Structure 1
């Protein structure tokens, strides 16, 4: 094979420098070594790459034809070196984020743009799954990070960084029978007897009392399915305000105007990881970027 990583570097240096002496200065070598390397490459290729009749080393048409592939190869080799170095320093092959569906609109994706620039070889996988399943993925080593609502109970295996918040509102179809049957505003306790549509794990034994109120609950695994069922008048749901505001404004949904409590449930949003598992460079950098986004009240903690 005529081309190697070294003579590709020399070939491009001569092209960029315009002479063997300029290339030698760029590479920290003597001009004779550069000239000899080019001569050996020409002999192996049986091509004349540079015109030596002039003072400068002028590239021939053959050299210009090879230039694009040579630059691509040099770039690939640099990326390979950077990838190998990053892996040596602890970069994981793949970073998997498990994101609760209700939180797909919060700004967890912004740090990924930074990761893509700093670690271009890092493969990223984003999975949307109910919160309980996202946490289970952490403990089953199927994801390194989970983006979820604050948990109602602590766990000594968890570490977390709070970075945002989300407002949940109870919504229902304006045509739902419960709104028409009552001669008064609904009270919070009325929700117990109205079917609830909830984004939830398939494991019915896993439930968060902040989210699961009704005696009858229909479960979905994503917020869009929940939204569709609520619009059809099949029940009520807690959904992110950012998701439902436009539909409330259009009259497709109604935010429940309770008689005895405010219809607002603001929860903090965390990125969570398993303390028992070492994190790679990508996950560590993602957490650091999330920390920079955290509300000021938390930055000193």
Structure 2
């Protein structure tokens, strides 16, 4: 095969600098070595790449025709070398991030965009799952990081970085019977007997007691499904403030006003990882970018 990483580099250096001597200085070689490399390449290709009848070699039409693909090949080789170096330094092949659905509105995509610029070869997988399921994925090694609310208790298997807080608001449809009759007179105790729609796993294990209030709870696996059921008047829910604000403003939802306390839950948000699993370069950098964004 005529072309290789070395002679492509020399070929492009001569094109860019306009002479064998200038290319040699750029490459840190002697001019005779550059001239010999080009001559060997021409012999193997049986093509004339540079016209040497002038004082400085001039690229032929053949050289200009090969130039775009040569530059593409050089770029691919640089990317390959960079990827190999990243792997050597500890870059994972894939970074999987599990996110609690209520936190999909948290600004995590911009840090991922910055991560993609720094490590373009890194594959990223973003999965949304109820918090208990997201943590199970983390502990099973199916995700390297989980973006979740603070946990009521501590788990010795986990380390975390706090990222700020998210506000959840108790809301229901204005068409719900309770919204019409007792909207301004409800207490948290009253909600025990009103159906709640909650983002939660199928089983109750791992559910956050702060978010599970009513005696009857319909469960979904996404905040959008929960929102749809609430808008249909089927129950009330705690939903992210930034999600429901425009719907409350337009009258599509109403905030449930408690007589004895705030109708908001302010929960801290953490990015969590396993203690016994070393983090890759991408995961470490993402945590840092999230911390900076927070």
Q: TM-score, normalised by structure 1?
A: 0.95
- Which runs of structure 2 are paired with 1:25-104 in the superposition (5 Å)? 25-104=25-104
2-side partners of 1:42 and 1:164: how far apart?
62
- Tell me by how many angstroms 1:181 deviates: 4.0
1-side partners of 2:97 and 2:191: how far apart?
33
1-side partners of 2:182 and 2:68: how far apart?
74
- Tell me by how many angstroms 1:201 deviates: 1.0
Q: Which residue of 2 aligns with 1:21?
A: 21
Aligned CA distance change for structure 1 residues 183 and 202 (closer, same or farther; 3 Å) = closer
Which stretch shifts more, 10-19 or 112-121?
A: 112-121
Q: Which residue of 1 aligns with 2:203?
A: 203
- Which runs of structure 2 are paired with 1:1-301 in the superposition (5 Å)? 1-182=1-182, 185-294=185-294
Give a deviation string over 1:233-291, Cα, whole Å, max 9, x none.
Answer: 00000000000111101111000111111111111111000111111101111112223
Give a deviation string over 1:74-115, Cα, whole Å, max 9, x none.
Answer: 010011111111111111000000011111111122221221
- Tell me by how many angstroms 1:178 deviates: 1.7
Aligned CA distance change for structure 1 residues 177 and 34 (closer, same or farther; 3 Å) = same
Kindly indicate whether the alpha-carbon contact (under 8 Å) linking 1:164 and 1:293 is maintained by their aligned counterparts in 2. Answer: no
Q: Secondary structure at the match of 1:160?
A: strand
- Structure 1 runs of 4+ aligned residues shifted over 4 Å read none
Q: Secondary structure at the match of 2:189?
A: helix
Give a deviation string over 1:112-164, Cα, whole Å, max 9, x none.
Answer: 12211111111111111111111011100000000011111111111110112
Kindly indicate whether the alpha-carbon contact (under 8 Å) linking 1:92 and 1:282 is maintained by their aligned counterparts in 2. Answer: yes
Q: Secondary structure at the match of 1:159?
A: strand
1-side partners of 2:193 and 2:170: how far apart?
14
Q: Secondary structure at the match of 1:272?
A: strand
- Tell me by how many angstroms 1:183 deviates: 8.5
Aligned CA distance change for structure 1 residues 183 and 117 (closer, same or farther; 3 Å) = closer
Q: Secondary structure at the match of 2:291?
A: helix
2-side partners of 1:275 and 1:289: how far apart?
20
Which stretch shifts more, 4-13 or 111-120?
A: 111-120
2-side partners of 1:228 and 1:187: how far apart?
24
Give a deviation string over 1:160-181, Cα, whole Å, max 9, x none.
Answer: 1011211100000111112234
Give a deviation string over 1:175-197, Cα, whole Å, max 9, x none.
Answer: 11122343861111111000000
Aligned CA distance change for structure 1 residues 184 and 238 (closer, same or farther; 3 Å) = closer
1-side partners of 2:50 and 2:84: how far apart?
34
How many correspondences in the alignment?
Answer: 294
